[in-house]
A and B are shown apart, each in its own frame.
Chain A
Amino acid sequence: MPLPPLSRRSLLRAGGVGLALAATTALASCAPPSDPKALKIAFFGDQSGADELRARLEEPVRALDPTIRLEINATPGTDWNEFFAKLLTQIAAGSRPDIVSVATEGVQLMAGRGLAAPLDEYVTRDLAELQDYFDDVSPALVEAMMYDGSLFLLPLDYNAGNMYYSPLLFEQAGLDLPAPDWTVDDFYDAGRALARIPDINAYDWVVRLWGSWTSFLYANDGNLLAEGRAPGGQWLWDAAYAGNPAAAGRGGGWAWGDPIANSPAAVEALELMIELRREGIAPSPDVGGGQTSQALFAAGRVGMSVGGGFWAGGLHNAGMAPGSFDVQYFPRWKSQRHLFGTAGYSILETSDKKDLAWEVIKRLTFPDAFDVLFPGNVTTPARQSLSTAKRYETTGPEHWDVFSSTLTEFPETAPIPAPIYFNALSTALNQRTTEAIATGDARAALDGLQIDLETAAGAVA
């Protein structure tokens, strides 16, 4: 039967309907259907790392529930700031993982915005099982994972801002190696001596929140935000840390108060960095992750730099032999207070597999899980008992115990200031620090930072 004649108008109409259908179908396909048999983990790193982790975790997860399929999706980024920006965008686009890797930078952001689920009930219920873990982990790390009285993560690893140095360059400069109680003046003198060696950076640093000039700020007894503690948390301290003096006086997590970015301590710390550059001790710093700084150190072209336990594996993997680098506590200024960042895995509030996710998270706290998660000394284990000479015998450094003893030697050591508006803080800090280095005017830059932070805090409020 012949087709009826198709007019131009009919064709246009059909085309329009087809186009609308195509658009609707495509839009519908943008929202991925929820898979009841998949446990999804959002992982900070590249996909090859995520695949390796999945291969190692598959069996323990199958032991918990043989019907569940483990999916680990990687989100790469130069730092946690970038990771969270991408993660939140993915969540907005409908991708809802059950478990998310979260560091100090994102704890309050996730908890404060209702994205992360509190673990209080699970921890209370399974405390007997977890007591071995709490006995082994510093309460300082656990407190950094609390917000408003609730616990949102179990810390698995951390990094305190210690000082790496090159024994070879120290020897070349005729310097004694830094002692545990060395001071900022000692550091400065060492910097001047190292700067006489051609083609090296006596001191190298990175513009970021962790281990930047902020390490000097902490040692100068300052901070970017007023420090305080949220009420609550006794449910945990009384139960898991009963009788532990290190838990005394702790509350329900860090409560970051008003910005104090232009305080005299902050101005003095940033002026020190400007002076280091002026004297040729330190170059203008890069912004971000610090890969360039680490690569330069591995190439033997940096005398000193702030690093954590993660540098041990990084420098070893970059070809540095044990003995060609070492680490010491951060030098004393007004105090020898260090800063640290810690990380773990959080359950998303939207997850419909919270119970299983909790079982996985609990499983990750077992001692044998650490090397599954972090092979190759790429961070410091939260469990003190895992920091042993054997762990560092192939990678170094010689004074590996600095990593694990920082929290006990300097109990006033505190996490980086990461409020709910962490992303805005991080951006403003980067901009104002580079401004100060370029102009040489720390006071003006920090006055600007103060305004930026007040604006960001006000926007959240």
Chain B
Amino acid sequence: MSAVTPPRTAPARRGTPTGPTDGVRRTPAARRSRRAEAAFGYAMIGLAGAAILLFTIGPILASFGLSFFAWDIITPRRFVGLDNYAAIGGDQRVVHSFGVTAVLAFSIVLLQVAIGLFLALLVDQRRRASTKAVFRTVFYLPLLASTAAVSIFMTYMFNERFGVVNYYLRLLGSSGVPWLTSDAGAVVTIVFVAVWQSVGFTFVLFVAALAGLPRDVMEAAEIDGAGPVRSLLRIKLPLISPTVFFACVIGLINAMQLFDQAFIMTKGGPGTATTTITMVIYQTAFQNLQFGYGSAISMVLFAALIALTGLQFTLSRRLVFYS
């Protein structure tokens, strides 16, 4: 039996945190200190909450509300109910741009993950930490550059007549490729630029994941005679599958909102070959001044992203291995 009789306190309610200090009567100074600490914590949460409320949740709610109105920002808004949503299905421009976005996004995510993993595996084999650090820095650098600046730079690189890329292709005997002025060329170039710039993100994720693999498991596999391919497919990939899943989810959410590269490099062209859904939202709202309709399209994109992420989580139950 304990020498100290615990004070009589009300039984802990469900959800009440328990800890080493529970049930101990604190001094007034300790209580004040704890209150001050808690207040500080809530203040910090409050600031972050205010920022999220103002800049994320607020605009989403405002956009959702606006999607039920017709508004050109000049004349008073007019309630139109679900008309904006009803119009989306019959708007070929929107439907087509969803298709374009899907093609671009899935290509980008696939390549991002595949190339990022490939590079990470190569770097993981290097033994010297300094070598790894150099590669990590080099592959991550493009991610730090402004997307707008990269897009402008790449526009010159891929210029049909005077671009560096076609200059070297001509040296090899090619007549040059209309990178930005043919449907296929424009899609390939935008995917290339997006992957080039963002592959550093997946690469760093995979490098960290590979570094965290349990050594005993890897050594056991080696002793059992598993070759590099077998070891990759049977041990490494299953063990880093949560990271692959994370990269796919984040990559797809980002890629579905692709805007800068297409807007700067091709203006959505040629024709509408690279007109993404975010470009259509921009054109609808900010150029055609149909803010209500633009908001409705953005809400559909929002719902599509949630659905896609949900689908990914459903698939992850079968494909992702959480040890």
Chain A interfacial positions (CB closer than 8 Å to B): 2-3, 5-6, 8, 11-12, 14-15, 18-19, 22-23, 26-27, 81, 85-86, 88-89, 91-92, 113-115, 201, 283-284, 287-288, 292, 296, 301, 421, 423-424, 426-427, 430-432, 434-435, 437-439, 445, 456, 459
Chain B contacts with A in 19-75, Cβ cutoff 8 A: 28, 31-32, 35, 38-39, 42-43, 45-47, 49-50, 53-54, 58, 72-75
Residue of A nearest to B47 (CB): A22
Residue of A23, A86, A421 with highest tally of chain B CB at under 10 A: A23
Q: Assuming A5-B31, A283-B161, is B73 touching A427 (CB within 8 A)?
A: no
B286–A430 CB distance below 8 A: no
In the complex, A292 Cα to B158 Cα: how many Å? 13
A22–B46 CB distance below 8 A: yes
CB-CB under 8 A from B181, the residues of chain A are 284, 434, 437-438
Residue of A nearest to B39 (CB): A11
Per DSSP, are chain A's interface residues mostly helix, strand or loop, or mixed? Answer: helix
Beyond the given pairs A22-B46, A114-B74, A114-B75, 6 more chain A to chain B contacts, judged by CB atoms under 8 angstroms and listed by A's residue number, are: A15-B45, A23-B53, A91-B74, A92-B291, A423-B288, A427-B283
Chain B interfacial positions (CB closer than 8 Å to A): 28, 31-32, 35, 38-39, 42-43, 45-47, 49-50, 53-54, 58, 72-75, 159-162, 178, 180-183, 266-273, 275, 283, 286-291
The distance from the CB of A108 to the nearest CB of chain B, in whole angstroms, is: 14
CB-CB under 8 A from B31, the residues of chain A are 5
Residue of B nearest to A2 (CB): B28
In the complex, A53 Cα to B183 Cα: how many Å? 43
CB-CB under 8 A from A88, the residues of chain B are 73-74, 286, 289
Of all A-B residue pairs in the complex, the 4 with the closest CB atoms, nearest first, are: A435-B271, A284-B181, A434-B269, A438-B270
A89–B73 CB distance below 8 A: yes
In the complex, A335 Cα to B132 Cα: how many Å? 68
A85–B287 CB distance below 8 A: yes
Partner of B42, one of A12, A81, A91: A12
B162–A296 CB distance below 8 A: yes
A437–B42 CB distance below 8 A: no
CB-CB under 8 A from B275, the residues of chain A are 431
A430–B54 CB distance below 8 A: no
B53–A19 CB distance below 8 A: yes
B49–A430 CB distance below 8 A: no
CB-CB under 8 A from B273, the residues of chain A are 438
Partner of B54, one of A6, A11, A27, A426: A27
B271–A434 CB distance below 8 A: yes
